[in-house]
Chain A
Amino acid sequence: MSRYTAKPLPPTNLPELRQIGKPLRRVDAMGKAVGSTVYAGDFSMHRMLHAKVFRSTQASALIKRLDASKARALPGVVCVLTAADVAHAKLTSDMPGQTGQKQRTGSDVPVLAYERVRFYGEPIALIAAETLEIAERAMRLMDVDYEPLPGVYDPLEAMKPGAPVVTPPDNIVGRWKIRKGNVDAGFAEADLVIENSFRVPHQEHAYLEPEAGVAWIDERGVITIRVSTQVVEHFRSIARAVGVAQNKIRIQGTMVGGGFGGKEDVTVEIYLALLAKHTNRPVRLVYTREESIFGHSKRHPYVIKHRTGVKKSGRITAAEIEIISDSGAYPYLSPYVLLYTAVMSTGPYRVDNLRVNAAAVATNNPYTSAFRGFGGPQACFAYEQQMDAIAARLRMDPLELRKVNYVRTGDTTATGQTIQTAAWLEETATRAMEALGEKTPDHGAIKVGQGFSSYFQSYGRIMWLHDTSQSWVGVEMDGTVTVRAGVPDLGAGQANSLCQIAAEVLGVPLERVSIYCTDSAITPLSGTSTATRQLYMSGNATLMAATNVRKVLLERVSRQFEEVVDNLDLAESRAFVKSNPSRFMELADLAKVCAADGAQLTSLAMFKAPFHDPIDPETGQGPVFPDFTFGSYAVEVAVDTGTGQITVLKAAASHDVGRAINRAAVEGQIAGGGVQGLGYALMEDLIVKDGVILTPSLSEYLIPTCMDFPTTKVIALESGTGVGPFGAKGIGEPSLTPAAPAVASAVADAIGVRIHELPLTAGRVLAAIDGLKK
């Protein structure tokens, strides 16, 4: 018997659909299975040059002298660019905007470092040569003299007066405050005040495809960049950095070999654009694994302190939360990631009296930015551990404590935003725990524990970014359907979901739908594949466009059959009378009739997320996100108290996905995100010493293999209440968020002591057990 029994779900109203929810073969799957999908690094052109990026070997230093003359003189080297050659170009590291949002000052990053370097691996020069081998030789001929400067490698140190300043005026690159209710009165009311501090480390994205791209100048003078990216709209900041008009940069996105936020900031495309412009030849740049690890962002390390007042009943009366993140050498998305952490810092619990202070702090460490969850997983590790610590102090069952405090639909978040959709927390927690089944018995020094965590996580972008997405849907003369949308497909099935939606609305089998995506020149802009927004945003845009086309088709059939539109439907490539399906017309014939009439069988639709003004800077009050996903994760672990080794025996994930568009894809997101979270919890240890990554390979930075964890049991629930198409909620990022605290909770259940820092290594387990003995 499991510790908990799930109650029946609240009633839902989900209409039966023909294609939505089915585990259909994704439109991108077969090309990938037979090796015909062409990724960014697979593309080559005649007279193509090969590029390398020359990088800093100091974390904090002045560049006293930079001499590229020997590299330039090497036969076969076509071009070496330093900052001086590119007019000290800068790149916006602010939120990639579609809306002309005002940029924060001081957030720009030099494309190539000049005068000083701020992190190990910072780009200094670009080399293009006839062969990769020559480019590599030229790298060794680059001459640079550094004068080391004092660096700062700990965000807490970097906040102290007198600490080395990474970029003037000071090291605070982002700050958020949340003030809600009366915190002092809340604490006065508490029976117990519990205080804990939590630490989480860097995490490396480790997508299998290192950053890659090819650029050339086309016959119209447009710099065309075929690149693996999460953000087509970067063409704007690239145009600014290169010094050309925005319509002279074209991004042709490829299928992305994994992104997870690591390809959200600009990667190779800016270097390719500059080299193509300066050489007027096609150029290819593909990172090695080591360069990928040195070259892109990481998940933010955090220190999070919770001080929570509770009644004996378990009710939280007040909370004070202090959040500090390490932004590394440049801000990139740190202020926004910090906002997410602050907004979600209470977890899915009602806290009426709240004070949150959050700061993102510059150091000379590797820069940090987006990573699946975007500040949510760090917050979750802290709030769920804190909840368990409170339960232990009150001698309450962890679920009972949570049930007293779980938010419900109609409650407000930390920033006072009302939760308007289903908040299935107990529903998912009990189901995840139930799926673990009975606890495996202890065996000598092997102690077994079970634990769970609950979470909430936003999907869709911050409302004051005024997010929009466009999609185009058309019916061809043979009754097939074409979708055009600028979505980058990261492998989560972004493109397929749009096809499945169009197939549903227009009543054609999925294999009759074809999609063109990710090209700033030929597909309407759909916005970034980030923030768990594509299904929500572009799914809704595609639904709108397909519905417009459907309307034209049905109106034409209505005239043909002299039937009201309500009595007509589209399915299996036919239009038919619902009350008498033997009266039908093939979609291909209908398309031809419409064409003869001059009826428009195409539609370009734009979906606008709800817009809202920014939150109040003093109180942090106001709505921030379109909606939230809720769920829970449960694990059973065996801890060898002799060696400190933790083995995950069982894992189960339950999330309310609103409505599954493709069940296999949704389950894949949940299982895959969960395993990334287990890696974060137990294995992934990016060792950074004085700003230098000491683990720049996949044999040193270990990510989960198939031998490390059992297959996750996935319980995808459907409340149908999401703001995405057909009631879908987002699941891409949320799937990762609750895994790490669930493991920590299970470990505490096994050994009777809580570990406050990730990853949960054998050394930390042994130290915790030793601490318990003392």
Chain B
Amino acid sequence: MKPEVVSLNVNGCVHHVALAPNVTLLTALRDLGYTDVKCGCEKGDCGACAVLLKMPGAERAEAVNSCLVLAWQADGAGITTVAGLGTAERPHPLQAAFADAGAIQCGYCSPGFIIAAKALLDRNPHPSEREIREAIEGNLCRCTGYGHIIEAIQIAADKLSAEKGGAQ
């Protein structure tokens, strides 16, 4: 298959890359060095490769499994990986809550969970436990048993709303 140039805007940095039409967004991102996007199954079963995708004209970004998106489909969209949310020095409240609440064990699933949680909190700043569970249903974790992950998302939601309240 003939490669064509695709423009990928990842965490605010635009890459123009020649890719065959069958290359997934997951492979394209990892080949570009965004190895914070994890590969767990390449079939959409595990959620480890989730990224935020904001299509042109869309109101907000959605969490997608990057293994189920072809790279050319993301041409022109805004792509955010977990590394795009924060750094160790300036973590996103979700990242801080995951680290503090014991939501991270082996950590391989964590980027996908944090991305799924970010998409949830963007559309629903005050989710119930049920809504949190539904938002991360497509993400597998083999270490934690999920309890601490749900707790971390609740902590981050509270912190984000408090910050927002303070700013008003």
B-binding residues in A (CB < 8 A): 23, 25-26, 28-39, 41-42, 205-210, 255-260, 286, 288-289, 490-493, 664-665, 667-668, 671-676, 697-699, 703-707, 709, 711-712
User: Given A35-B83, A664-B101, A706-B136, are A208 and B149 neighbors across the interface (CB < 8 Å)?
Assistant: no
> Which residue of the partner chain, among A34, A39, A493, contacts B88 with CB atoms under 8 Å?
A34
Decide yes or no whether B140 CB sits under 8 A from chain A: yes
Query: B75-119 interface mask toward A, CB cutoff 8 Å, 1 = contact, 0 = none?
Result: 000000111011110010001101111101111111100100000
Question: What are 28 residue pairs bridging A and B, where the CB atoms are less than 8 Å apart in the complex?
Answer: A26-B102, A28-B107, A29-B107, A33-B104, A33-B114, A34-B36, A34-B95, A35-B81, A35-B83, A207-B108, A208-B48, A208-B109, A208-B140, A209-B38, A257-B106, A258-B106, A288-B42, A491-B143, A668-B102, A671-B147, A672-B142, A675-B144, A676-B145, A704-B146, A705-B139, A705-B140, A706-B133, A707-B134
User: Given A33-B96, A34-B88, A42-B35, are A672 and B108 neighbors across the interface (CB < 8 Å)?
Assistant: no
Task: Kindly count the residue-residue contacts between A and B in the assembled complex, taking CB atoms under 8 Å apart.
Answer: 183
In the bound complex, CA of A207 to CA of B141 (Å)? 8
> Are B43 and A255 closer than 8 Å at their CB atoms?
no
> Are A30 and B99 closer than 8 Å at their CB atoms?
yes
In the bound complex, CA of A288 to CA of B40 (Å)? 8
In the bound complex, CA of A210 to CA of B48 (Å)? 12
User: Given A33-B95, A35-B81, A664-B148, are A672 and B105 neighbors across the interface (CB < 8 Å)?
Assistant: yes
In the bound complex, CA of A586 to CA of B143 (Å)? 40
User: Given A35-B83, A668-B148, are A258 and B142 neighbors across the interface (CB < 8 Å)?
Assistant: yes
Query: B34-46 interface mask toward A, CB cutoff 8 Å, 1 = contact, 0 = none?
Result: 0111111111011
Q: Is the interface of B mostly helix, strand, loop or mixed?
A: loop
Decide yes or no whether B122 CB sits under 8 A from chain A: no
In the bound complex, CA of A490 to CA of B105 (Å)? 8
Question: Would you give the shortest CB distance from A543 to chain B, in whole angstroms?
Answer: 23
Question: Would you give the shortest CB distance from A441 to chain B, in whole angstroms?
Answer: 22
A-side contacts of B149, CB under 8 Å: 706
Most buried by B among A26, A208, A676, A709: A208
In the bound complex, CA of A207 to CA of B144 (Å)? 12
Most buried by A among B36, B105, B137, B144: B105
> Are B40 and A289 closer than 8 Å at their CB atoms?
yes
A-side contacts of B37, CB under 8 Å: 35
Question: Would you give the shortest CB distance from A292 to chain B, in whole angstroms?
Answer: 9
Q: Is the interface of A mostly helix, strand, loop or mixed?
A: loop
> Are B111 and A671 closer than 8 Å at their CB atoms?
no
Inter-chain pairs besides A29-B107, A30-B95, A706-B137, 7 sampled, C-beta below 8 Å? A34-B36, A35-B37, A207-B142, A209-B40, A209-B108, A289-B46, A711-B150
> Are B35 and A208 closer than 8 Å at their CB atoms?
no
Question: Would you give the shortest CB distance from B51 to chain A, in whole angstroms?
Answer: 11
In the bound complex, CA of A674 to CA of B142 (Å)? 11
In the bound complex, CA of A698 to CA of B96 (Å)? 29
> Which residue of the partner chain, among A26, A206, A706, contacts B146 with CB atoms under 8 Å?
A706
Shortest Cβ distance from B141 into A: residue: A208
In the bound complex, CA of A39 to CA of B30 (Å)? 12
Question: Would you give the shortest CB distance from A134 to chain B, in whole angstroms?
Answer: 14
> Are B145 and A493 closer than 8 Å at their CB atoms?
no
A-side contacts of B141, CB under 8 Å: 208, 706
> Are B36 and A672 closer than 8 Å at their CB atoms?
no
> Are A698 and B45 closer than 8 Å at their CB atoms?
yes
> Which residue of the partner chain, among B39, B106, B111, contacts A490 with CB atoms under 8 Å?
B106
Shortest Cβ distance from A208 into B: residue: B108
Question: Would you give the shortest CB distance from B150 to chain A, in whole angstroms?
Answer: 7
In the bound complex, CA of A531 to CA of B36 (Å)? 30
User: Given A25-B100, A29-B98, are A671 and B144 neighbors across the interface (CB < 8 Å)?
Assistant: yes
In the bound complex, CA of A442 to CA of B83 (Å)? 48
Shortest Cβ distance from A668 into B: residue: B102
Question: Would you give the shortest CB distance from A589 to chain B, in whole angstroms?
Answer: 28
Question: Would you give the shortest CB distance from B1 to chain A, in whole angstroms?
Answer: 11
A-side contacts of B96, CB under 8 Å: 33
Question: Would you give the shortest CB distance from B36 to chain A, in whole angstroms?
Answer: 3
In the bound complex, CA of A30 to CA of B92 (Å)? 11
> Are A32 and B46 closer than 8 Å at their CB atoms?
no
> Are A698 and B140 closer than 8 Å at their CB atoms?
yes
In the bound complex, CA of A676 to CA of B48 (Å)? 19
Question: Would you give the shortest CB distance from A294 to chain B, in whole angstroms?
Answer: 14
A-side contacts of B133, CB under 8 Å: 706-707
B interface, how many residues as a size bin? 35 or more
B-side contacts of A205, CB under 8 Å: 142
Question: Would you give the shortest CB distance from A258 to chain B, in whole angstroms?
Answer: 4
A-side contacts of B36, CB under 8 Å: 34-36
In the bound complex, CA of A707 to CA of B133 (Å)? 6
B-side contacts of A26, CB under 8 Å: 99, 102, 104
Question: Would you give the shortest CB distance from B3 to chain A, in whole angstroms?
Answer: 12
> Are A699 and B45 closer than 8 Å at their CB atoms?
yes
> Are B42 and A289 closer than 8 Å at their CB atoms?
yes
Question: Would you give the shortest CB distance from A665 to chain B, in whole angstroms?
Answer: 7
B-side contacts of A36, CB under 8 Å: 36, 83, 87-88
> Are A705 and B137 closer than 8 Å at their CB atoms?
yes
> Which residue of the partner chain, among B102, B114, B137, contacts A707 with CB atoms under 8 Å?
B137
User: Given A30-B91, A493-B105, are A289 and B41 neighbors across the interface (CB < 8 Å)?
Assistant: yes
A-side contacts of B42, CB under 8 Å: 288-289
> Are B147 and A33 closer than 8 Å at their CB atoms?
no
> Are A674 and B38 closer than 8 Å at their CB atoms?
no
User: Given A668-B143, A705-B137, are A29 and B35 neighbors across the interface (CB < 8 Å)?
Assistant: no
In the bound complex, CA of A668 to CA of B142 (Å)? 11
> Which residue of the partner chain, among A671, A674, A709, contacts B148 with CB atoms under 8 Å?
A671
A-side contacts of B137, CB under 8 Å: 705-707
Most buried by B among A30, A697, A704: A30
In the bound complex, CA of A206 to CA of B108 (Å)? 12
In the bound complex, CA of A199 to CA of B82 (Å)? 43
Question: Would you give the shortest CB distance from B151 to chain A, in whole angstroms?
Answer: 8
In the bound complex, CA of A26 to CA of B107 (Å)? 12
B-side contacts of A703, CB under 8 Å: 140, 142
Which chain B residues numbered 23 to 63 have a C-beta less than 8 Å away from chain A? Answer: 30, 35-43, 45-46, 48
Question: Would you give the shortest CB distance from A402 to chain B, in whole angstroms?
Answer: 26
A-side contacts of B39, CB under 8 Å: 41, 210, 286
Shortest Cβ distance from A205 into B: residue: B142
> Are A210 and B142 closer than 8 Å at their CB atoms?
no
In the bound complex, CA of A691 to CA of B81 (Å)? 40
A-side contacts of B30, CB under 8 Å: 42
> Are A674 and B145 closer than 8 Å at their CB atoms?
yes
Question: Would you give the shortest CB distance from A207 to chain B, in whole angstroms?
Answer: 6
In the bound complex, CA of A255 to CA of B108 (Å)? 9
Most buried by A among B40, B95, B138: B40
Give 7 closest A-B pairs by Cβ, nearest first. A35-B36, A491-B106, A32-B107, A257-B108, A675-B145, A664-B102, A42-B35
> Are B106 and A208 closer than 8 Å at their CB atoms?
yes
Shortest Cβ distance from A705 into B: residue: B137
Most buried by A among B42, B88, B147: B147
In the bound complex, CA of A25 to CA of B104 (Å)? 10
> Are B45 and A697 closer than 8 Å at their CB atoms?
yes
In the bound complex, CA of A337 to CA of B47 (Å)? 33
> Which residue of the partner chain, among B98, B111, B146, contacts A711 with CB atoms under 8 Å?
B146
> Are B38 and A258 closer than 8 Å at their CB atoms?
no
Most buried by A among B101, B107, B111: B107
> Are B140 and A34 closer than 8 Å at their CB atoms?
no
Question: Would you give the shortest CB distance from B14 to chain A, in whole angstroms?
Answer: 20
In the bound complex, CA of A42 to CA of B137 (Å)? 26
> Are B146 and A29 closer than 8 Å at their CB atoms?
no
Question: Would you give the shortest CB distance from B84 to chain A, in whole angstroms?
Answer: 9
> Are B102 and A665 closer than 8 Å at their CB atoms?
yes
In the bound complex, CA of A29 to CA of B95 (Å)? 9
Shortest Cβ distance from B98 into A: residue: A33
B-side contacts of A258, CB under 8 Å: 105-106, 108, 142-143
In the bound complex, CA of A91 to CA of B151 (Å)? 44
